[in-house]
Amino acid sequence: MVSNFGPIAEASIKLRPMSVFVGPSNTGKSYMATLIYALHRFFNDYFRSGSYEYRGIRHGLFITGGIWMIPTQGFNLSEDDIEGLYCWAKKENEYIETPPSELPKFMATLVRATLSGFVHLSKDLDGEIVRCFGVDKSKSLVRYLGESGASFSLRGNTSKETGRNDPFEYNVTVTNRGAKADASLPNTLSSRMDWNNTLIRYFPWHLIDDSRLGSKEKREIAIALLGALASDIITDTVGPLARPAHYLPADRAGVMHAHQVAVRGLIAGGSRTRPRRDSSMPVLSGVLGDFIDQLVALADSSRRAQDENYDNLAHKLEQTLLRGAVRIEQLPINYPSFVFRPNGWERDLPLMNASSMVSELVPVVLYLRHVVQPGDLLIIEEPESHLHPAMQVEFTRQLAAAVQSGIRIIVTTHSEWVLEELANLVRLSDLPTEQREGIDDADIALGPEQVGAWFFEPSAEQSGSVVREISLDTESATFPAGFGLVTESLYNRWAEISSRIEGH
C-alpha cells in the first residue's frame, strides 16, 4: 500500500515474479520502482550485513535479532523459560512435518518485542530512500505535506499454512520530520522453523543437551533461538525484500557510452585542482550511482565462474537480439571497457560505435552473466527503448525465460508489444506441452499467477495517479492499458481528414 507519494495518490500492489508497471508518463511508475528498490536495499543490508559474531559466524542484523535486540528490551530469561525453549526446539526439530505450531505465550512475548525493535531503524530507512531518489530530504517525495504525510506499508501473514488470517504489517510514514516506521503485530504468533535454511543452519543444536554448559552459555543459546524465531517470522513478511535488487535505469545507454569519459574526466580534474567552493556538484540518484558502481565492479567480476543457466540466458540474448557477443576488457587502472563484436566480424566495436539497441541491451546481458542470482530482483525501466517492435517481442520472451530460471523482474513500459507478448506467454501456459509443436519458443510460458500488470492512471479527483491491477483480456489478447484507444483516435483522425478532402 502506497499513498501520497510523489505522483502517486493511491496504490496497492502485490508483486509477482514478472510485474509490469504501465501508464502515461509522470504517473509514478519509476517512483514506485525506485521505492521498491530502496526497500530491497534497506532490508538486504540488514539481513546480510554483519553485526554480531556467534561462535565464529558473523550474522546479519535480522538473523540475530534476538541476540542483539532482546537484551536491550530488559527481558531476563528464567530457568523455566530456557527449559521451555529447549523442549519446544527439540520437538519442532524432531517433527518437522507437523503444521506450524503456535508459540508458547512467553516465547511469543519475547519474539514480539524483537519484531517491534525494528522500528528504531527508521533513520536508516529514511537515509536509503533519500539516497535512492537523490533528494535532500525524504519530505521532498511527499505530494501534500501535512500531518498524514506519505505512507507505505508492507503486509504479510505469519500463519500462511494454518489457514488463519494473522496479518503482520510494517508501516512507514514520511513527513516533515523524515521517515518513521512502526509495526502492527498479530495477536498470535506461529512458526515452523526451516531447520535447513541459512537462518538456522549455524544454530548450535549439538550443545542443547550438553550437561557441561553453564547458565551463561545456556542463556546465549536460548537468545540465539529467539533471534532465529524472530527471523523466521519476519521472513514470511519482508523476506522477499531481503533479496538483492538491481536497477537498470532508463538512461542506461547514455551511461554505457559516457561512464568512461566521465570517470577519466573526474580523475584528471581531481588530480590537478580542487573544486571551487562556489561550484555546484551534481548529485546522482542512488539508482544511477549503484548502476555506475556495478559497471566499475565488473572489471573484477567478469572473471568469476558463473552459473551455466544464467550464462545461457545472457548468450541467448546475444544471439537472438544482438546477433553478436559482448566482452569486457580490463583497463590498466582496473576499470572495465565494454566492446561488442557482431557475428562474422573479426574485430570488436567500441560500444559507442554500436547501434542504440546494442547499447540498451548490453547492460542486461552483463547483469545476467555476472551480477543477478536466483531469487534476485531485476528492475528494468522501459525495456522497449531503441528496440524495433519485433525485438521488443523477442526481448519480452527472453525476460520471461529469466523469470522461469528464478529471477524476479519488474519493468516499467509504454509498449503495447510488451503487454501483448506477455499475454501470449500467459495464454501459452494453458496449452498442453504436447500441443505446442510449431510454436516459436514453445517452452517459454508463464502462468497467470506469475504475471501481474498495474496501470498508473491519472486521477483529476485525487490530483495524482491511482494504481490498479489490470487483468488479461482474452478478447483483446492483451493486458488492456489504453493503447487501443490511441490507435482508434488516430484512425478517426485519418477518417476525418480524408472525409474533408473527399468533400471538396
What is the residue-wise DSSP string for 78-98?
Answer: -HHHHHHHHHHHHHHHH-TTS
pLDDT at 199: 42
Long-range contacts of 324-327 (CB under 8 A, 24+ apart): 324/358, 326/362, 326/365, 326/366
| Domain residue ranges of the chain, discontinuous segments joined by + | 43-242, 252-268+286-372
Question: Which pTM was predicted?
Answer: 0.81
pLDDT at 204: 53
Residue 418, pLDDT > 90, answer yes
The residue with greater pLDDT, 443 or 337, is 443
User: How high does pLDDT run on average in the chain?
Assistant: 78
Residue 54, pLDDT > 50, answer no
DSSP class per residue in 270-293: HHH-PPPTTPPPP---HHHHHHHH
Residue 161, pLDDT > 60, answer no
pLDDT at 311: 85
pLDDT digits (tens, 9 = 90+) for 110-159: 667 666 655 566 778 888 999 999 998 888 888 776 666 787 777 665 54
Lowest average pLDDT, out of 155-169, 197-211, 488-502, goes to: 197-211
Mean pLDDT of 387-412: 96
The residue with greater pLDDT, 300 or 199, is 300
Which of 66-75, 108-117, 198-207, 242-251 tops mean pLDDT? 242-251
Residue 393, pLDDT > 70, answer yes
Asked if 286 contacts 133 with a C-beta cutoff of 8 angstroms, the reply is: yes
Q: Across the beta sheet with 336-342, what order do the strands follow?
A: 324-330, 336-342, 349-350
Percent of residues, the chain, with pLDDT higher than 90: 39
Mean pLDDT of 426-452: 95
Residue 467, pLDDT > 70, answer yes
Lowest average pLDDT, out of 210-214, 319-323, 422-426, 434-438, goes to: 210-214
Percent of residues, the chain, with pLDDT higher than 70: 64
pLDDT at 440: 92
pLDDT at 480: 94
Those residues whose C-beta lies under 8 Å from the C-beta of residue 278, and which sit 6 or more positions away, are: none
pLDDT at 96: 45
Residue 458, pLDDT > 70, answer yes
CA 403 to each of CA 15, 169, 391: distance values in angstroms, whole numbers, following the listed order: 13, 27, 18
C-alpha cell at 14: 502485490
Hey, which bits of 364-425 come out as E strands? 377-381, 408-413
Where does the pLDDT of residue 83 fall: very low under 50, low under 70, confident under 90, or very high at 90 and above?
confident
d(CA 10, CA 413): 20
pLDDT digits (tens, 9 = 90+) for 181-202: 776 766 666 665 555 444 444 4
pLDDT at 166: 56
The residue with greater pLDDT, 210 or 80, is 80
Residue 17, pLDDT > 90, answer yes
Residue 165, pLDDT > 70, answer no
Mean pLDDT of 460-473: 91
Residue 233, pLDDT > 60, answer yes
pLDDT at 305: 52
Residue 438, pLDDT > 90, answer yes
pLDDT at 153: 77
pLDDT at 353: 87
